């Protein structure tokens, strides 16, 4: 996703685009398999560019507890500052310096960063998800299984024979 800055006046410009996940060069790419809506507001002032990026999509995650697939809304926003030319403003790590000859700004690395930074560490289909039974593997959201808490240790079962 590149924005042409060659003939831009000092002004506010907005862009809307629908992207696929090809800009995500990372294993988490597979979770973002729906069209990704992008909204960009670019504010140019001389050699400075303030770019506000928003992305919005549906992600397909796998629940950590019950292993079911579920879709979730994914939204992220980020502001990125650019300056054309190598200047004394250095030292400010937040501003990306572009060469004097730059004709476009490639947003792909920032888009990928946004997905990485906002990607959930835990994927839970529902706060109340009961997960899988550790014994029989049944999905407890669908049906309770028969190996509930009151199972008796087989060794006690043996002992019981003697107590009559
Ligand atoms: Zn679940
Ligand atoms: Zn069970």
In this structure, is the dihedral angle defined by the CA atoms of residues 86, 91, 95 and 96, taken in order, positive or negative? positive
Closest to 68 measured CA to CA, from 129, 116, 27: 129
Burial 123-155 (b: 16+ CB within 10 A, else e): bbbeeebeebbeeeeebbbeeeeeeeeeeeeee
- The predicted structure's pLDDT at residue 148: 61
Nearest to 132 by CA among 151, 149, 150, 145: 145
Note whether 87 and 51 are same-domain residues.
Answer: yes
Ligand at minimal distance from the CA of 140 is 2
40, 26: one domain? yes
Pair (66, 124) in one structural domain? yes
CB 11 within 8 A of CB 50: no
> 145 and 124, same structural domain?
no
Q: What's the token pair of residue 12?
A: 């506010």
Q: What pLDDT is stored for residue 77 in this prediction?
A: 97
Could you read off the pLDDT tens digit of each residue along the chain, which spans 164 residues?
Answer: 899 998 899 999 999 999 999 999 899 999 999 999 999 999 999 999 999 999 999 999 999 999 999 999 999 999 999 999 876 655 667 899 999 999 999 999 999 999 999 999 999 999 999 999 999 999 999 988 888 655 555 565 566 666 55
Q: Could you tell me if 68 and 146 lie in one domain?
A: no
Measure 70 CA to ligand 1 centroid, in angstroms: 8
| Total of domains in the chain | 2
Are 146 and 79 part of one and the same domain? no
134 and 124 belong to one structural domain: no
Burial 4-21 (b: 16+ CB within 10 A, else e): ebeeeeeeeeeeeeebeb
- 16 and 55 both lie in a single domain: yes
The range of the structural domain enclosing residue 14 comes to: 2-128
Does one domain contain both 52 and 106? Answer: yes
Q: Which residues pair with 6 in a beta bridge?
A: none
Residues 141 and 64 reside in one and the same domain: no
Q: What integer pLDDT is reported at residue 158 of this predicted model? A: 62
CA 70 to ligand 2 center in whole angstroms: 23
Q: How far is the CA of 95 from the centre of ligand 1 (A)?
A: 41
Residues 33 and 78 in one domain: yes
Nearest to 17 by CA among 34, 1, 33: 1
Residues 82 and 100 in one domain: yes
The pTM assigned to this predicted structure is 0.79
Q: Which residues hold their Cβ within 5 A of ligand 2, which is an ion?
A: 133, 135-136, 138, 145, 147
């Amino acid at each position: 996703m590149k924005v042409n800055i060659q003939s831009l006046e000092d002004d506010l410009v907005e862009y809307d685009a629908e992207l696929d996940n090809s800009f995500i060069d990372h294993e988490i790419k597979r979770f973002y398999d729906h069209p990704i809506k992008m909204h960009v507001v670019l504010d140019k002032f001389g050699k400075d560019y303030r770019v506000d990026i928003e992305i919005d999509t549906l992600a397909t995650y796998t629940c950590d507890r019950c292993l079911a697939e579920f879709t979730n809304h994914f939204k992220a926003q980020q502001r990125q500052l650019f300056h054309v030319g190598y200047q004394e403003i250095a030292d400010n790590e937040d501003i990306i310096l572009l060469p004097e000859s730059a004709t476009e700004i490639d947003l792909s690395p920032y888009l990928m960063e946004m997905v990485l930074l906002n990607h959930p560490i835990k994927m839970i289909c529902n706060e109340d998800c009961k997960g899988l039974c550790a014994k029989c593997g049944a999905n407890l959201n669908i049906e309770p299984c028969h190996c509930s808490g009151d199972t008796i240790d087989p060794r006690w079962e043996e002992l019981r024979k003697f107590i009559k």
